[in-house]
Amino acid sequence: MSQPVCPLSAIPKGEAYRWEVEPPIAIFHTEDGEVFAIDDTCTHQDASLADGWLEGCEVECPLHASRFDLRTGKVDAPPAKKPVRTHQVTVTDGIVHVAVSDAAPNLPPGV
Ligand code: FES
């Protein structure tokens, strides 16, 4: 079921919002105006992807520079090996809604 998170206007293009659910979810607003949601925690170690660098449809982890594809959650650059979960996003009346995946998250060891 999809849940309201925040107004899209609260996330400038090229930036991310960390939604404090358990586990946290990062919502990205790309320069092209698309919106994606993935698990916020890198699958390599405990780093917040919302603090990473957004480039096109990819985010680079701030800790060891793994890159994840926001559309699929796939790893595009190591050292991470496992994908992050992706979540379905809709924007209705300017509000970002996220339907949290019911797949198991790929959290790193110790998290
Ligand atoms: S914690 Fe993200 S690449 Fe190491």
CATH of the domain at 13: 2.102.10.10
**What pLDDT is stored for residue 32 in this prediction?**
97
Instruction: Tell me the two tokens of residue 101.
Output: 């995946």
If one counts the domains in the chain, the total is 1
Closest ligand 1 atom to the C-alpha of 49? 2
Any ligand 1 atom below 6 A from CB of 45: yes
Instruction: Tell me the two tokens of residue 102.
Output: 């019911």
Which range marks the domain in which residue 9 is found? Answer: 2-99
Mutate to test the pocket of ligand 1, among 39, 41, 43, 44 (most ligand atoms within 8 A of CB): 44
Instruction: Tell me the two tokens of residue 35.
Output: 């919106």
**What pLDDT is stored for residue 108 in this prediction?**
97
Q: Could you tell me if residue 106 is inside a domain?
A: no
Instruction: Tell me the two tokens of residue 67.
Output: 């890159």
Mutate to test the pocket of ligand 1, among 60, 61, 82, 84 (most ligand atoms within 8 A of CB): 61
Residue among 44, 5, 46, 9 at smallest CA distance from 27: 5
Global pTM reads: 0.96
**What pLDDT is stored for residue 71 in this prediction?**
98
Q: Could you tell me if residue 108 is inside a domain?
A: no
Q: Could you tell me if residue 105 is inside a domain?
A: no
pLDDT by 10-residue block (mean), the chain, 111 residues: 96 98 98 98 98 98 98 98 98 98 96 92
Query: What residue ranges in the chain does DSSP mark as E strands?
Result: 2-7, 15-19, 25-29, 35-39, 53-55, 58-60, 67-69, 75-77, 86-92, 95-99
Q: Could you tell me if residue 29 is inside a domain?
A: yes
